[in-house]
Structures are given as structure tokens and as C-alpha cells.
Amino acid sequence: MHHPRVTPSAGRRAAVPRKATSGGVALTYRPLFDLAAPVQDPASAALGPSQFVLLGGLTSADTSTDAVIVAGLHSSTVRASLPNAQHDAQAAALGGRVYVFGGGQFTQYDHILTYDRQTNSIQTAGSLPSAASDVAVTGDGSTGYVIGGFDGVNWLNTVLAFTPGALPRILARLPVALRYAAAAAVDGYVLVAGGSTPTGLSDAIYRIDPSTGAVSVLGHLPAGVTHAGAGVIGSTMYLVGGRGEIATDRSADVWAIDPANGTIHRAATLPQPLSDAAVVSLGDRIIVAGGSAASGTQATVGELAPAGT
């Protein structure tokens, strides 16, 4: 059976939008190129200042893929294959390698995989405490953080910390279980925005202090959103796209989130409403690759960058 991708309470209305603070750093979207094939919901991570990798995901036929795609700013190529086709995983670049956490196809996986760009090889680097798909993942370069997810029965509220060579440990627990949230490491914190809860969409922005495991509510999004992506430019987290509880209720919004006080600014609008895209930070730009739109699974790769650059 195909791994389920719908959130519960599909008939529930989305949160009533709140007015966002005006201003903030404006970003401009520019199309770059098209992937060889459409993909949504891949794990993704940066491979340096101008390259990134997409691992797994869903094809235009809504089936999982095992492709490992390395891309730059102008083209992409398939470089390796995962041990199994999968989607609903996420990744982080740690210590010069890319680590992929969990995911699923017909069942959830508990593996931690590592991709070595030098050899284009995939190896098993460990296991999560339990199988988990629908996770959010971010990293600070040395430690990866795996947030929430679904183990096949239970929705998860855990925040796991993983350092290569060590076992994952529970750093914190969120006030509510989350799936399909967006996360970013910025200014020494881990921010978690949106996602699906067992009772509907989340509009909360959580701030986690990795040094203590303390979790606080930093602020709230203008409305609940799930299946969004997150990137970082400077000291700002950008929440990109996403959708409501119904898959066709996609968003084109890009919101800037201040990690100091939770202030929300509208930073850009995508060319079309988009969910489940790969969102990768590359220096002063954020890559948006693939995703799900009204016309189906996308192959487009574009960038969000400060206006005028």
C-alpha cells in the first residue's frame, strides 16, 4: 500500500489568517533550469556554495524513486541510487557528507544513510530510535536535528540530535506531535514552523536551544501550513510554499522569520502555489526544486535571492 500522504481532519478549516508585519528582506524568484524528470518530496542538502543533492522523492506517477541527483545552478545528473526507493525523508550536510534520515515507501524506514559526493556512494550510518517518515530535518554543520514524524502508528513529538559516529539522542520534545513541518538552524537555534498535528494544521513557530533542549513558542505564522520548506539567508529563516490540510490548497507565499523575536515578513511570492519542494540554502540564495503544483509534480529549479543581487 502506498505510504499515506494526507493529513487528518481534511474537512477542517485552516487557521484564520493573521496580519503579518510588513517589511523585511525582499527576495526575487528566478527560474534556473529543469530537472530531467519531475520530483516532489525528495530529501535535499547543500553540497557547497553552488551545488546541492536531491535524494529519493516521488515521481510524476506518484511512486517513490531511488535516484540521487546532484545539481548545480544550470544542470543536474543522476549520480547514485539509494538502497530502496523512498520519499518522506529529509537530509542535512554534516562534516562533509550528506545524511538522510528515515523516510518510507510502503512502510517507514529507521535508517540513517550517508551520501559521499567524492565516491558517489551510499552507506548506512546508523538507525533512528524508531522508524520515522514525514520528518523535518536541519543541521548546523556538525549536528543534525530530526523533528517529529510518523512511525506507522504514532505521530512523533521528538527532537533528535545526531552527530556522525554517535547514536541519535532525544534532545527535546515538542508540545505537540508534528509531521511535515519545516525546520532551519539559524543563529544558534533550531526553528520549527508549521506542520500537521493529530488535530489539524499548526501555525506555531517553535524555537529550540540545542545547548539546553529548551523549547519555546517564538511566534505564529499568518495561517497554519504544512508540507512547506525552509531555507536560511543570513540570520533569517524563510518558509517557502506549503499547503493546507487539503492537498490542492497550496501556497505561493515566502515568509521571512526573525529567530530573535518571531517577527514575520512577507519576503516573496513564488510563480505558482507549490508544496513538497526541495528547499536548499546555498549562501545568499535559496534553491527551490521540484514540488507539487496544480499542474502536477514539477521539474523546475529556481532560486530565491535578495532583490538586486
What's residue 23's pLDDT? 38
What's residue 309's pLDDT? 73
What's residue 305's pLDDT? 97
The amino acid at residue 37 is A
Q: What's the distance, CA 278 to chain centroid?
A: 7
Q: Look up residue 239 and give its three cell numbers.
A: 518558509
What's residue 10's pLDDT? 30
What's residue 8's pLDDT? 36
Report the half-sphere exposure of 212 (CA within 13 A, side-chain side).
Answer: 7
Q: What is the pTM of this model?
A: 0.92
Q: Kind of pairing, strands 158-162 and 169-173?
A: antiparallel
HEC readout, 237-263: EEEECCECCCCCCECCEEEEECCCCCC
Please state which architecture CATH assigns to domain 27-306. 6 Propeller (2.120)
- The residue ranges of every structural domain in the chain are 27-306
Query: 99 - beta bridge partners?
Result: 92, 114
What's residue 21's pLDDT? 40
The amino acid at residue 153 is V
What's residue 25's pLDDT? 81
In order along its 309 residues, the chain shows pLDDT tens digits of 334 444 333 333 333 333 344 334 899 999 999 999 999 999 999 999 999 999 999 999 999 999 999 999 999 999 999 999 999 999 999 999 999 999 999 999 999 999 999 999 999 999 999 999 999 999 999 999 999 999 999 999 999 999 999 999 999 999 999 999 999 999 999 999 999 999 999 999 999 999 999 999 999 999 999 999 999 999 999 999 999 999 999 999 999 999 999 999 999 999 999 999 999 999 999 999 999 999 999 999 999 999 877
- 77-83 LR contacts (CB < 8 Å, sep 24+): 77/36, 78/36, 79/53, 79/117, 79/120, 80/115, 80/120, 80/121, 80/122, 81/122, 82/55, 82/56, 82/113, 82/122, 83/111, 83/113, 83/122, 83/124
